[in-house]
Amino acid sequence: MIKFCMRIFSLIALSISVLFFVISSTFAGSPTKVGFVYLTTPGDHGWTYAHELGKQMVEKRFGKDVKVSVVENVPEGPDATRVIRELAKQGNEIIFTTSFGYMEPTLKVAKEFPNVKFEHITGYKRSKNVATGNIRFYEGRYIQGVVAGLMTKTNKIGYIGAYPIAEVIMGINAFAQGLKSVNKDASISVIWANTWYDPVKEADAAKVHIAEGADVLAQHTDSPAMLQIAEKNGAMGFGQSTDMSAFAPKAQLFASINNWGPYYIKKIEELRNGKWNTGDGPNHWPGNVWGGIKSDMLVISKFQNMPANVAQKAQEALDGIKTGKINIFAGPLIDNTGKEIIPAGKALDDGALWGMNYYLQGVNGKVPG
Amino acid sequence: MITFIPRDKVSKNWIIIAPILSIVFTIFFGLLIFTFLGYNPLETLYQIFVSPFSRIDRISDILVKACPLIIIGTGLMLCFKSNVWNIGAEGQFIMGALLAGFIALSFPNIETKFFLLITILAGFVGGALWAFIPAILKTKLNVNEILVSLMLVYVAMLFIDFIVRGPLRDPMSFGFPLSKPYPDGALINKIPFPGIGFLGQLHYGILFVLLLIPVSWIFVNKTLGGFKINVLGSAPQAAKFAGFKQNSITITVLLLSGGLAGVAGVIEVSANIGQLQPEVSFGYGFTAIIVAFLGRLTPVGILFAGIIIATVKLGADNAQMTMGIPKVVTGLFEGILLFFLLTGETLQKYKIKWSEGKK
């Protein structure tokens, strides 16, 4: 008898709690819960800071209609799996995981929570509820190449790369294409920092470049350290991910700014309208966003510390990319050993960009590994 | 000048009072800091200490996080007890994971779980070999093992980095530094509970911890080997007179602790990652040093210390998710906690004497 009563009682309790859940989730104006996972802290003034600015745009745009939770400093591994799962458990409806290494953890958790939407930033694996987002960073690097080619006096460009992966290599090659379009004598030397964020190592690499005679520096790492060294030594450089002119008012020529806000807002809006989806098919291609200058995901800051004619050339390159007049990887493309990659009249497609493991003409040395 | 003088007798009361006082001080300073920074202090403490226990799957997450810490910490205990300072468990962890990973990836179609015995053994060998380098340098050439073992951590980090970018890189990974996924036979599964399903990420690797704690307790307290280690650590001269071979003890404890760190590496990668990637350890090897000392170099103590450290780490994440407290703030709190716990333990054994420095 007691057992029976207990059962009835728990049934009632259960139905009440279900009722409350239904009411609370259909109640008009209940905020959409959005989760963000950061690799470092916004204090990096680079990659994660750019995501933080995007998050702030989300909060500004939606106000009380969203509730945002953030976890920073999450290492790429089991901790990420745990944190993402926890965010899903706490009722977040869409979760942005903002580093490449969160790919497998995101997919793993997504399988357990089929009703939660996941947006993985810079990955290539998608599923029914995992979409991916990335920025065509290389477009900004082409413009950097143009400016560097016109500004350099020593014809030596120092480039600091994080890791020799396709994303970084396509950036170096885009830079080389821009450089070649204005200055055939200049060449790029690359130092690999083997880290995305380590101000000390980045500064050391910048010092080596300057000691070897480079007068324009570029980076594919996250901290402002390189620009600070450039500022001290009278060299020039480009800001990464965010506007870094505060760190190097005299050295920053311009910055390529990652503008995640519009992408976040678009995806959250889709979710709220019930339109979020990654399509069918094995690759879920519709779930992939790879936007650049045209779609406002990559923003070029104002051209500074350069003569008017250089700024004008830079503006032309920017406009060319925006209108599609400039195709950065149009043939003929020849790698730096003389091998033809693609003949005139053709151009590399997105798939070929992700397979890049060679340097184009204008870059010294060879890709490690 | 401050000097520490050993107390003649450690008061029994203070053994109980000291840890309680440490906790009280920690909470007091925690409240002070959180209030000062504008966070609700009680809720913060709740998030850090209590919320990790608030759901059964969160408790299982604590165990998962504590698992590598306890395994490595137990190995380090053997070293530290015999005054051998192995600071390089992080590197031994990586090399164990790497050798096991190499073997796992060499048999891409294997499905039987007996294969795990081989990969775990490989992990032990990998970690032990890495610890053998400081061991042999210490015993043959009297090179400081602190420096050698620490520096080998960075060699190991760069080595695994090279391996996953080069020889073991998955050709389908779009140039990203990842190996192929492990075959089924090399994966440690999550534990299914009848009627409940999986609890977070709780996996069978935890069985190794349950085995390790009693075995290491028996080894330390009931065997001649354990006795030798104790004597060598607390009275090196006595060990010498007793005819214990110091060099062979040094080599043994380094091999054992390196091997255990390697096993921790295999379990972590096989259960939680499933492939090799540039980073597999996230500082477990260094955190385990704290765990070993916090556990007062006893197996049971290390079990609890591992759980405490894991709890605070998860609690810090929860505090961040629910209250937006940055990790630096919770990290500060972790520091305060360790400071008071270790101070309490030290003052229990030593008196402080203030003396005038020589002019």
- Per-residue model confidence as pLDDT tens digits over B237-257: 888 888 888 899 999 999 999
Place of tokens 């800001």: A239
Q: For residue B239, what are the contacts with CB-CB under 8 A and spacing of at least 6?
A: B228, B231, B232, B246
- B319 & B336 share domain: no
Judged by a CB distance cut-off of 8 A, whether residue A331 touches chain B is no
Q: For residue A252, what are the contacts with CB-CB under 8 A and spacing of at least 6?
A: A227, A236, A237, A238, A239, A243, A244, A245, A304, A305
| CATH 2.40.50.1020 at A138-257+297-353, yes or no | no
Give chain B positions within 8 Å (CB) of A167. 175
Q: What is the DSSP letter of B356?
A: P
CATH number of the domain where residue B160 is located: 1.10.3470
- B32 & B118 share domain: no
Q: Give the residue numbers spanning the domain of B22.
A: 1-39+328-359
Cβ atoms of B285 and B153 closer than 8 Å: yes
Is residue B23 one of the residues assigned to a domain? yes
Average pLDDT over residues B227-246: 86
Percent of all residues in chain A with a pLDDT value above 70, rounded to a whole number: 92
Average pLDDT over residues A158-182: 93
- For an interface test with A, the pick among B272, B287, B311, B313 (most A C-beta atoms closer than 10 Å) comes out as B272
- Residue B151's alpha-carbon distances to B79, B134, B285, in angstroms, are 18, 10, 13
Q: Return the SS3 of A174.
A: helix
Judged by a CB distance cut-off of 8 A, whether residue A76 touches chain B is yes
Judged by a CB distance cut-off of 8 A, whether residue A166 touches chain B is yes
Cβ atoms of A90 and A107 closer than 8 Å: no
Q: Return the SS3 of B203.
A: strand
Q: Letter for the amino acid at A60? A: K
Average pLDDT over residues B330-349: 85
- What is the spatial distance between Cα B290 and Cα B284, in angstroms, rounded to a whole number? 10
**Strand pairing category for A117-121 and A66-71:** unpaired
Indicate the helix (H) or strand (E) that contains A277. none
Is residue B90 one of the residues assigned to a domain? yes
- For an interface test with A, the pick among B159, B281, B317 (most A C-beta atoms closer than 10 Å) comes out as B317
Give chain B positions within 8 Å (CB) of A356. 175
pLDDT digits (tens, 9 = 90+) for A304-339: 999 999 999 999 999 999 999 999 999 899 999 999
Choose the closest CB to A73 out of B162, B280, B327: B327
Judged by a CB distance cut-off of 8 A, whether residue A269 touches chain B is no
- B82 & B156 share domain: yes
**Strand pairing category for B190-193 and B197-203:** antiparallel
- What is the spatial distance between Cα B249 and Cα B229, in angstroms, rounded to a whole number? 7
- What is the spatial distance between Cα A107 and Cα A146, in angstroms, rounded to a whole number? 39
Provide the chain B residues 251-270 that lie in CB contact (below 8 A) with chain A.
Answer: 268
- B234 & B342 share domain: no
- For an interface test with B, the pick among A36, A72, A100 (most B C-beta atoms closer than 10 Å) comes out as A72
Helix B89-106, helix B145-165: angle, nearest 10: 30
Per-residue pLDDT band at A369 (split at 50, 70, 90): low
Is residue B333 one of the residues assigned to a domain? yes
Judged by a CB distance cut-off of 8 A, whether residue A41 touches chain B is yes
- For an interface test with B, the pick among A41, A73, A84 (most B C-beta atoms closer than 10 Å) comes out as A73
Is residue B252 one of the residues assigned to a domain? yes
Q: Which two tokens stand for residue A130?
A: 């995992």
Q: For residue B17, what are the contacts with CB-CB under 8 A and spacing of at least 6?
A: none
Two domains, one topology: A30-135+260-291 and A138-257+297-353: yes
**A354 to B328: CB separation less than 8 angstroms, yes or no:** no
Give chain B positions within 8 Å (CB) of A100. 176
DSSP per position, B6-43: E-SS--HHHHHHHHHHHHHHHHHHHHHHHHHTTS-HHH
- B319 & B226 share domain: yes
- B195 & B297 share domain: yes
pLDDT digits (tens, 9 = 90+) for B49-67: 899 998 888 899 999 999 9
Cβ atoms of B324 and B40 closer than 8 Å: no
What is the homologous superfamily of the domain A30-135+260-291 according to CATH? Response regulator (3.40.50.2300)
Going from N- to C-terminal start, the domains of chain A cover 30-135+260-291, 138-257+297-353
Is residue B47 one of the residues assigned to a domain? no
Mind telling me how many Å the CA of A161 is from chain B's nearest CA? Answer: 14
Judged by a CB distance cut-off of 8 A, whether residue A77 touches chain B is yes
pLDDT at A11 exceeding the cut of 60: no
pLDDT at B182 exceeding the cut of 70: yes
Phi, psi of B352 (to 5 degrees): -95, 135
Judged by a CB distance cut-off of 8 A, whether residue A164 touches chain B is yes
Cβ atoms of B249 and B229 closer than 8 Å: yes
Choose the closest CB to A77 out of B161, B273, B328: B273
Give chain B positions within 8 Å (CB) of A111. none
pLDDT digits (tens, 9 = 90+) for A281-291: 777 878 888 99
Q: What is this structure's pTM?
A: 0.78
Nearest of A143, A154, A215, A151 to residue A178 by alpha carbon: A143
Position A27 scores a pLDDT of: 47
Indicate the helix (H) or strand (E) that contains B262. helix B246-268
Mind telling me how many Å the CA of A96 is from chain B's nearest CA? Answer: 14
DSSP E strand stretches across chain A: 32-37, 66-71, 94-97, 117-121, 130-135, 156-161, 187-192, 216-220, 236-241, 252-258, 288-291, 298-300, 333-334, 340-342
- Residue B355's alpha-carbon distances to A109, B3, B132, B227, B358, in angstroms, are 59, 8, 43, 38, 9
- B122 & B7 share domain: no
- B151 & B260 share domain: yes
Choose the closest CB to B321 out of A75, A90, A164: A90
Q: Letter for the amino acid at A201? A: K
Give chain B positions within 8 Å (CB) of A41. 326-328
- Rounded to two decimals, the ipTM of the complex is 0.74
Is residue B268 one of the residues assigned to a domain? yes
Number of A–B residue contacts, CB under 8 Å: 85
Position B338 scores a pLDDT of: 84
Mind telling me how many Å the CA of A41 is from chain B's nearest CA? Answer: 8
Per-residue pLDDT band at A4 (split at 50, 70, 90): low
Place of tokens 């704290």: B290
Give chain B positions within 8 Å (CB) of A48. none
- For an interface test with B, the pick among A79, A108, A173, A201 (most B C-beta atoms closer than 10 Å) comes out as A79
Mind telling me how many Å the CA of A354 is from chain B's nearest CA? Answer: 6
Judged by a CB distance cut-off of 8 A, whether residue B273 touches chain A is yes
**B327 to A81: CB separation less than 8 angstroms, yes or no:** no
Mean confidence (pLDDT) of chain B:
90
- B261 & B214 share domain: yes
**B320 to A71: CB separation less than 8 angstroms, yes or no:** yes
* Domains: count for chain B: 2
Is residue B28 one of the residues assigned to a domain? yes
**Strand pairing category for A288-291 and B2-6:** unpaired
Give chain A positions within 8 Å (CB) of B165. 163-164, 368-369
Average pLDDT over residues A67-93: 91
Is residue B181 one of the residues assigned to a domain? yes
**B175 to A81: CB separation less than 8 angstroms, yes or no:** no
- B199 & B93 share domain: yes
Position B220 scores a pLDDT of: 92
**A104 to B280: CB separation less than 8 angstroms, yes or no:** no
For the beta carbon of residue B150, count every other beta carbon within 10 angstroms. Answer: 18
Judged by a CB distance cut-off of 8 A, whether residue B329 touches chain A is no
Mind telling me how many Å the CA of A78 is from chain B's nearest CA? Answer: 6
- In terms of CA atoms, which chain A residue is nearest residue B176? A165
- In terms of CA atoms, which chain A residue is nearest residue B197? A112
- For an interface test with B, the pick among A83, A99, A192, A353 (most B C-beta atoms closer than 10 Å) comes out as A83
Nearest of A139, A118, A136 to residue A287 by alpha carbon: A118
| Poorest-pLDDT segment among A45-59, B84-98, B208-222, B335-349 | B335-349
For the beta carbon of residue A128, count every other beta carbon within 10 angstroms. Answer: 15
Position A9 scores a pLDDT of: 54
Q: For residue B113, what are the contacts with CB-CB under 8 A and spacing of at least 6?
A: B185
| Poorest-pLDDT segment among A221-225, B92-96, B129-133, B303-307 | A221-225
Judged by a CB distance cut-off of 8 A, whether residue A286 touches chain B is no
Judged by a CB distance cut-off of 8 A, whether residue A85 touches chain B is yes
Judged by a CB distance cut-off of 8 A, whether residue A83 touches chain B is yes
Q: For residue B46, what are the contacts with CB-CB under 8 A and spacing of at least 6?
A: none
- B230 & B335 share domain: no
- B118 & B209 share domain: yes
